[in-house]
Chains A and B, each alone.
Chain A
Amino acid sequence: MFEGAKRPTIKFSDEQAQLLDIAASFARDKFPLSAARARIAAEADLDKEIWSEMAALGWLGVAIPEDFGGSGLGLGEAVAIVEPLGRHVAGTPLVSTTLLAQALLKAGTEFQKRTYLPKLAEGGIGALALSEESGDWNLTNLAATATKTVDGVALSGVKTFVTDATSAELMLISVLWNGRPALAVLDRAAFGKGRMTRETVIDETRRSYRVTLDGMVVQDCYFLEAAQTAAAFKHLDEAACLLAAAEMCGGAAGVIATTVEYLKTRKQFGRLIGSYQALKHPMVDALMLLDAARSHLYFAAGVVGEGKEGEIAVRMAKAAAGEALAFAADRAIQFHGGFGFTYDCDAQLYRRLGLWGEARHGDAAWQRARLAELML
């Protein structure tokens, strides 16, 4: 199971406990499930007021060192914020902003870190332009390119699923440069709105864009340190798995609570439907999957970045959370009966959250294949 006789311990700080508590009530107040459809239909890509409050709470810099304007905690603390937001299908740019900061911390030049990290901690939104039309989950299998010209570095290609691109202050893009995967952080001046087209995505709480790089010319200084780039890709992938697991664990907890509430109030054939074992037993299975997924999540939150063990932990966490949410939300639709088939039932919001989360950074089967390489 684990090497040696020591049982695994979950590192869980007082800060995490506090954040979990505060984030839970914040998410409940600011992102009530009843308003999810209004949020989806809203014209603006982002509720700037709520975002400013999140910045004021210090959440955007939670994993940024104090030297760079953050609060000097870590990704483990970010997990405690992201999980409750997932429960309320909040779909904020918190995750992409946090991940962009992680890339900078891993491979940014001193200038990039000094310039951009405080900006992110203050509330500047970070967007990630990492995936492409192929849908490949390996972040370094790229078609977009960068080519040195007399004017600078010319970019070409298409990036997909760039969430909150129109609101972003900074965008992290991945391209092949001289055949090698490279990362660049562009500021708003360097990417124009004209290059973005809104995508219709399965999780409607996301504002997702397709970004065309063709014709974009940037300067060398936008690129992250080449020597650290491979490490940054790896870290981005692992951190993304961790935060996606947090979001999906939150989603699984939310959909279980929603469904249990329904099973406690809905009657059919003169009985509360929760009394039927055909519904009760799968709900218990869902709860047990959630329990295991949460245990994996908070263990992973404590060891992310710690070499092979860290990678194993985050991949297990993502696989477990993905399957927990998939099962819970799938059954939630079914157990709501006819209502479950309607747009008004919240079960679909969670199922969509799960499908989105599985499609980003590798589904459970993909994670298991990576784990097989690491463990067998």
Chain B
Amino acid sequence: MSLDPKELEDFRAEVRAWFEENRPADPGFLLPQSFMEVGTDEQFHFLRDWQRKVYEAGYLGMAWPKAYGGGGQPQALQDIVTREMMRAKVPFMVNTIGLNWAGPLILNMGSEEQKKAYIPGILSAEDIWCQGFSEPDHGSDLGSAQMKAVRDGTDFVLNGSKIWTSLGVHARYMILLARSNPHANNKYEGLSFYLIPMQIPGIEVRPIRKLTGEYGFNQTFFRDARVPESCLIGGEGNGWRVAMATLMFERGAAGGQAGGHAMMSTEVSEVVALARVAKRGGRPAIEDPLVRDQLVRFLIEERGLALNSARKRLAPLNAEYPLSIAMAGKLAVSEFQRRLCQFALSLEGGRAAYYVGDAHAIDRGLWQRAYFNAFSATIGGGTSEIQHNIIGERVLGLAKS
């Protein structure tokens, strides 16, 4: 398919119309804003049905190979769809880990069998994926993972536990980082990376209640769970390299994702709308000069993030720190979202004291919950503090802390 601007515009119009027409009806309950917040079965089924519908319409995995259920089309088309989804503010694609991290990883490093076995189910949401990286005692320090994978003939026997496994109760597969060799030269060389089935004896998923009072995260326990060596990806002892590649996908620093948005991010325009209805001293809050100043700060920051994505593609404008924008993306966006939600809450005045469930809460308590949930991104995927270390060391070249 050629990519002349006219055809792209026509395609955009077609996609826009499709999402307008097929936008799911309000389910009557507060939907989660990301895959990390799916706390009830009704939320999960609603979102899974929605992803399947989008995939069946041909709007997901458009640039993935046809042989594995993808569309075999140019990435530019998928990018248009993803942007239209965000614009239309339709619910996010729930199989986020599969679509954005596990899928690209398997396409990149997996065997032919693995691609055939896993990719179609990722796209259709038939097979939900979760991630087994963090451990209870090693939150941001992935290299120190202690979970054991002991070789026994052509099998590995898994023992230990992983934490923060979003979608763990719904998942059919997990990407897992575990220690296959406790006696390796260094801690990194002892790690291997696995694609494992969740419904096998010896794996137990226990929901964790979040600070919001809701569910969504889990702790996964492994007790002599046995998987065949064909579950390995990237080869035994190469787990660290595979995990780093996965993190590049997770942080959006490497392309190849199936498309679709992963998160209902909060936009400043929504907070501006809130400032128009919220009252300060009998007047709309938006008339308060300090509120205005803060709103404009957020508008500048929000646009700066969008413009960073645009500038990232222009090599001459990234000559000094070529990795900077890509590596700092997660840190920048997550902290921005957290501060924005916090500010939104402050605009509610006395009504900020309501919480999700009270009929008088503004926007069903969306802002209260969004603020709490914003910490999932400032903590998950490497805390903001660890991100600062990584960027300081890898982009600025400062000595290790």
Give A residues with C-beta under 8 Å from B. Answer: 1-2, 4-10, 12, 16-17, 20-21, 253, 256-257, 260, 263-264, 271-272, 274-277, 280-281, 283-285, 287-288, 291-296, 298-299, 316, 319-320, 365, 368-369, 371-372, 375-376
Is B303 positioned at the interface, with any CB of A under 8 Å from its CB? yes
- Contact partner of B303 among A8, A257, A365, CB < 8 A? A8
> In the bound complex, how far is the Cα of B87 from the Cα of A365, in angstroms?
31
- With known contacts A253-B320, A281-B388, A10–B307 Cβ distance under 8 A: yes
Residues in A with CB closer than 8 Å to B321 are 287, 291
Would A10 and B310 count as touching, CB distance under 8 A? yes
> In the bound complex, how far is the Cα of B303 from the Cα of A1, in angstroms?
6
Sort A-B residue pairs by CB-CB distance and give the 5 closest, nearest first: A292-B304, A295-B307, A274-B398, A275-B399, A280-B392
Interchain nearest-CB distance for B141 vs A (Å): 15
- With known contacts A319-B300, A376-B292, A280–B310 Cβ distance under 8 A: no
User: Can you name the residue of chain A whose Cβ is closest to the Cβ of B265?
Assistant: A1
Residues in A with CB closer than 8 Å to B210 are none
Residues in A with CB closer than 8 Å to B396 are 256, 260, 274, 280, 283-284, 287
User: Can you name the residue of chain A whose Cβ is closest to the Cβ of B287?
Assistant: A376
Would A283 and B398 count as touching, CB distance under 8 A? yes
Could you give 26 example pairs across A and B, Cβ below 8 Å? A1-B306, A10-B311, A10-B317, A12-B314, A12-B316, A263-B398, A264-B398, A275-B399, A277-B385, A280-B392, A280-B398, A281-B392, A287-B395, A291-B311, A316-B299, A316-B300, A316-B304, A320-B300, A320-B304, A369-B289, A369-B292, A371-B299, A372-B293, A372-B295, A372-B296, A376-B295
Residues in A with CB closer than 8 Å to B84 are 5
Q: Which of under 10, 10 to 19, 20 to 34, or 35 or more describes the interface residues of B?
A: 35 or more
Interface SS of chain A: helix, strand, loop or mixed? helix
> In the bound complex, how far is the Cα of B315 from the Cα of A10, in angstroms?
12
User: Can you name the residue of chain B whose Cβ is closest to the Cβ of A21?
Assistant: B316
> In the bound complex, how far is the Cα of B324 from the Cα of A295, in angstroms?
12
User: Can you name the residue of chain A whose Cβ is closest to the Cβ of B321?
Assistant: A287
Would A260 and B308 count as touching, CB distance under 8 A? no
Is B400 positioned at the interface, with any CB of A under 8 Å from its CB? yes
Would A277 and B401 count as touching, CB distance under 8 A? yes
> In the bound complex, how far is the Cα of B303 from the Cα of A287, in angstroms?
17
Residues 379-399 of chain B, each 1 if its beta carbon lies under 8 Å from chain A, else 0: 000000100110111011111
Would B392 and A369 count as touching, CB distance under 8 A? no
- With known contacts A284-B391, A296-B303, A319-B300, A10–B314 Cβ distance under 8 A: yes
- With known contacts A4-B87, A371-B296, A284–B307 Cβ distance under 8 A: no
Would B317 and A12 count as touching, CB distance under 8 A? yes
Would A296 and B307 count as touching, CB distance under 8 A? yes
Would B304 and A264 count as touching, CB distance under 8 A? no
User: Can you name the residue of chain B whose Cβ is closest to the Cβ of A267?
Assistant: B399
Residues in A with CB closer than 8 Å to B126 are none
Give B residues with C-beta under 8 Å from A. Answer: 12, 16, 80, 83-84, 86-87, 267-269, 272, 286, 289, 292-293, 295-297, 299-311, 314, 316-317, 320-321, 324-325, 328, 331-332, 385, 388-389, 391-393, 395-401
User: Can you name the residue of chain B whose Cβ is closest to the Cβ of A277?
Assistant: B401
Would A292 and B301 count as touching, CB distance under 8 A? yes
Interchain nearest-CB distance for B17 vs A (Å): 13
Residues in B with CB closer than 8 Å to A264 are 397-399
Interchain nearest-CB distance for B136 vs A (Å): 24
Residues in B with CB closer than 8 Å to A17 are 316
Would B308 and A299 count as touching, CB distance under 8 A? no
- With known contacts A368-B297, A376-B292, A275–B311 Cβ distance under 8 A: no
> In the bound complex, how far is the Cα of B391 from the Cα of A256, in angstroms?
14
Would B302 and A376 count as touching, CB distance under 8 A? no
Interchain nearest-CB distance for A127 vs B (Å): 31
User: Can you name the residue of chain A whose Cβ is closest to the Cβ of B388?
Assistant: A281
Residues in A with CB closer than 8 Å to B401 are 275-277, 280
Would B331 and A288 count as touching, CB distance under 8 A? yes
Residues in B with CB closer than 8 Å to A8 are 303, 306-307, 310
Would A376 and B397 count as touching, CB distance under 8 A? no
Would A280 and B300 count as touching, CB distance under 8 A? no
- With known contacts A287-B391, A299-B307, A371–B300 Cβ distance under 8 A: yes
User: Can you name the residue of chain A whose Cβ is closest to the Cβ of B276?
Assistant: A376
Interchain nearest-CB distance for A51 vs B (Å): 26
Residues in A with CB closer than 8 Å to B272 are 376
> In the bound complex, how far is the Cα of B393 from the Cα of A298, in angstroms?
27
Residues in B with CB closer than 8 Å to A298 are 307, 311, 314, 317
Interchain nearest-CB distance for B389 vs A (Å): 7
Residues in A with CB closer than 8 Å to B332 are 288, 292
> In the bound complex, how far is the Cα of B289 from the Cα of A257, in angstroms?
36
- Contact partner of A5 among B16, B268, B305, CB < 8 A? B16
